[in-house]
């Protein structure tokens, strides 16, 4: 008997299909991801700040993403055990397998709050409550939360962080949705999912999916579709396989780190960091007081009662006041010393230092996207939804195999600092690979 074909679906996948089904085909049938843009990267960085804050109470770093996030802290739940962060879900509805991660669920309120972080260049792009109540992502997340907690109502809370405009404050859009409403709108999403499954059954490439009109408004959305050149040639009846190959290569290059020509031959050195290196100072962040299970790492934050009342207005965190201090400069450095410094800087630029549960005094390279990508690959290669579901507890090992492949066995690697945190499961699982690749490993004393 033929096995029933399933399709893995996510809210963002439906969003792509809503924009253009051919774009969905290029992305999910041909496997060509559009290269991430600078604003998407900034969005990812802000998202990481939020995850670290809500999950572990880690103050945001003193960089652009940290400053953007800081302004919205008062709009979020107080971190603690009552908040589920990056809640992974998977539910099966016949041949449709829905999966994703909900940014946060605050279980301490009635109704419970289901939240998502959004970065935007302009708040006029933010949805209003009415739009949020019928949004694909909102409906799926609401359904997941209702089923998980067996409730008939949830409050959707989308927090929008403006990335431009120094004085523009973040905004929260909230709406309470009930089960009947959610189930009614889910039926539409289900139909969309079934239609994508049909495409998956019948075609193998976005090239085979027709669009009613080209160009259409979706071609220009979000700065212009990556596949415009391909569709233009397709429209003229030309072969586009070379163009698609080029886009695929460009996309891969955008996420491939700079290669280090000479891989390390020296054994890895382990240095124990001074305890104060663990603290990221962020005194200007103002957060509401804790409710339950508040993490201990909040000591560096100033907590005020007024901030608690600021549900809909972000606190006045001054961007300038949390800018990192410039390093002290020696007025009369000798020429000899300068050339030694240059040499040391050059050497540092060619090596990689791994910081485990601690931070370097200067910046670090964010590897979380790469780890997530490799985890997804490991899961997909083993036909499971999450790498930790790979049989016989081999998930972490398979994750490391994928990381090794990503970095070409360690011969292509980051030069600089990489920070991994053992309280984050996926990062903890990645440590063996990064440890093997690092020239120096710095660990915190717990
Ligand atoms: S260029 Fe337009 S038609 Fe082509 S994939 Fe993109 S959105 Fe669709």
Tell whether the model's pLDDT for residue 220 goes beyond 50: yes
Query: Which is the closest atom of ligand 1 to the Cα of 23?
Result: 5
Mean pLDDT on 185-201:
96
Q: What is the pLDDT of residue 224?
A: 84
Q: Whose alpha carbon is nearest atom 7 of ligand 1?
A: 219
- CA dist., res. 130 & res. 172, Å (int): 13
Residue-wise DSSP of 259-295 = PPSS---SPPEEEEPPGGGG----TT-EEPPP-SS--
- CB of residue 23 inside a 6 A radius of ligand 1: yes
> Per the domain annotation, does 291 fall within a domain?
no
Does residue 110 sit in the same domain as residue 66? yes
Residue 336 CA to ligand 1 center (angstroms) comes to: 58
- CB of residue 218 inside a 6 A radius of ligand 1: yes
* pLDDT tens sequence across 378-402: 887 777 778 888 777 778 888 888 8
pTM: 0.60
Tell whether the model's pLDDT for residue 445 goes beyond 90: no
Residue 221 CA to ligand 1 center (angstroms) comes to: 10
Does residue 78 sit in the same domain as residue 163? yes
Poorest-confidence range of 267-271, 364-368, 411-415?
267-271
- CB of residue 438 inside a 6 A radius of ligand 1: no
Does residue 310 sit in the same domain as residue 256? no
User: Contact at 8 Å (CB) between 18 and 136?
Assistant: yes
Q: What is the pLDDT of residue 412?
A: 55
Look up the domain containing 26 and give its range.
1-277
> Per the domain annotation, does 282 fall within a domain?
no
Tell whether the model's pLDDT for residue 437 goes beyond 60: yes
Number of domains observed in the structure of the chain: 2
Strand intervals (E) in 321-379? 352-356
Mean pLDDT on 137-152:
97
Does residue 310 sit in the same domain as residue 215? no
Q: Whose alpha carbon is nearest atom 1 of ligand 1?
A: 228
- CB of residue 362 inside a 6 A radius of ligand 1: no
> Per the domain annotation, does 5 fall within a domain?
yes
Does residue 310 sit in the same domain as residue 269? no
Tell whether the model's pLDDT for residue 304 goes beyond 50: no
- CA dist., res. 97 & res. 249, Å (int): 29
* pLDDT tens sequence across 92-119: 999 999 999 999 999 999 999 999 999 9
Does residue 118 sit in the same domain as residue 232? yes
Poorest-confidence range of 57-66, 110-119, 416-425?
416-425
Q: Whose alpha carbon is nearest atom 5 of ligand 1?
A: 23
Does residue 270 sit in the same domain as residue 314? no
- CATH code where residue 65 lies: 3.90.320.10
> Per the domain annotation, does 322 fall within a domain?
yes
Residue-wise DSSP of 57-95 = -PPPPSSHHHHHHHTTGGGSPPPSTTEEEEEEEEEEETT
Q: Which of 277, 308, 328 is the C-terminal boundary of a domain?
A: 277
> Per the domain annotation, does 284 fall within a domain?
no
Residue-wise DSSP of 153-167 = EEEEEEEEEESS-TT
Does residue 40 sit in the same domain as residue 71? yes
Average pLDDT over the chain reads: 78
Q: How many CB atoms lie within 10 A of CB 435?
A: 15
Tell whether the model's pLDDT for residue 206 goes beyond 90: yes
Q: Whose alpha carbon is nearest atom 4 of ligand 1?
A: 231
Query: Which is the closest atom of ligand 1 to the Cα of 19?
Result: 7
- CB of residue 228 inside a 6 A radius of ligand 1: yes
Does residue 181 sit in the same domain as residue 304? no
Does residue 391 sit in the same domain as residue 246? no
Q: What is the pLDDT of residue 319?
A: 30
Q: What is the pLDDT of residue 310?
A: 33
Does residue 333 sit in the same domain as residue 212? no
> Per the domain annotation, does 288 fall within a domain?
no
Does residue 222 sit in the same domain as residue 331? no
* pLDDT tens sequence across 309-333: 333 333 333 332 233 333 333 444 4
């Amino acid at each position: 008997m033929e096995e029933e074909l399933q399709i893995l679906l996510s809210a963002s996948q439906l969003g792509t299909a809503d924009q253009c089904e051919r774009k969905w085909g290029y992305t999910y049938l041909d496997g060509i991801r559009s290269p991430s843009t600078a604003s998407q990267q900034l969005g990812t960085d802000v998202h990481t700040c939020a995850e670290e804050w809500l999950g572990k109470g880690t103050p945001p770093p003193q960089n652009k993403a940290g400053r953007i996030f800081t302004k919205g802290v008062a709009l979020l739940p107080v971190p603690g055990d009552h908040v589920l962060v990056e809640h992974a879900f998977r539910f099966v509805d016949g041949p449709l397998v829905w999966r994703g991660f909900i940014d946060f669920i605050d279980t301490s309120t009635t109704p419970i709050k289901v939240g998502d972080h959004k970065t935007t260049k302009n708040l006029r792009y933010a949805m209003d409550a009415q739009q949020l109540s019928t949004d694909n992502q909102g409906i799926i997340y609401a359904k997941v939360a209702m089923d998980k907690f067996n409730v008939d109502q949830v409050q959707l809370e989308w927090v929008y962080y403006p990335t431009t405009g120094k004085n523009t404050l973040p905004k929260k859009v909230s709406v309470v949705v009930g089960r009947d409403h959610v189930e009614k709108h889910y039926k539409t999403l289900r139909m969309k999912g079934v239609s994508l499954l049909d495409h998956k059954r019948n075609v193998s490439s976005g090239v085979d999916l027709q669009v009613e009109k080209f160009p259409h408004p979706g071609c220009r959305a979000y700065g212009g579709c990556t596949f415009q050149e391909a569709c233009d040639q397709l429209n003229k009846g030309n072969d586009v396989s070379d163009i698609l190959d080029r886009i695929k290569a460009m996309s891969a290059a955008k996420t491939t780190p700079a290669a280090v020509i000479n891989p390390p031959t020296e054994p890895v050195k382990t240095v124990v960091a001074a305890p104060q290196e663990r603290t990221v100072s962020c005194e200007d962040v103002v957060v509401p007081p804790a409710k339950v299970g508040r993490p201990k790492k909040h000591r560096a934050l100033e907590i005020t009662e007024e901030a608690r009342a600021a549900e809909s207005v972000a606190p006045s965190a001054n961007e300038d006041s949390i800018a990192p201090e410039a390093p002290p400069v020696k007025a009369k450095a000798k020429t000899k010393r300068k050339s030694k410094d240059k040499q040391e800087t050059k050497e540092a630029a060619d090596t990689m230092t791994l910081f485990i549960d601690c931070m370097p005094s200067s910046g670090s390279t964010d590897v979380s996207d790469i780890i997530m990508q490799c985890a997804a690959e490991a899961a997909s290669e083993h036909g499971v939804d999450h790498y930790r579901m790979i049989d016989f507890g081999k998930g972490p090992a398979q994750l490391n195999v994928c990381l090794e492949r990503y970095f070409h066995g360690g011969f292509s690697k980051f030069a600089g600092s990489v920070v991994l945190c053992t309280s984050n499961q996926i990062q903890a699982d990645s440590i063996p690979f990064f440890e093997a690749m690092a020239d120096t490993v710095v660990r915190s004393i717990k």
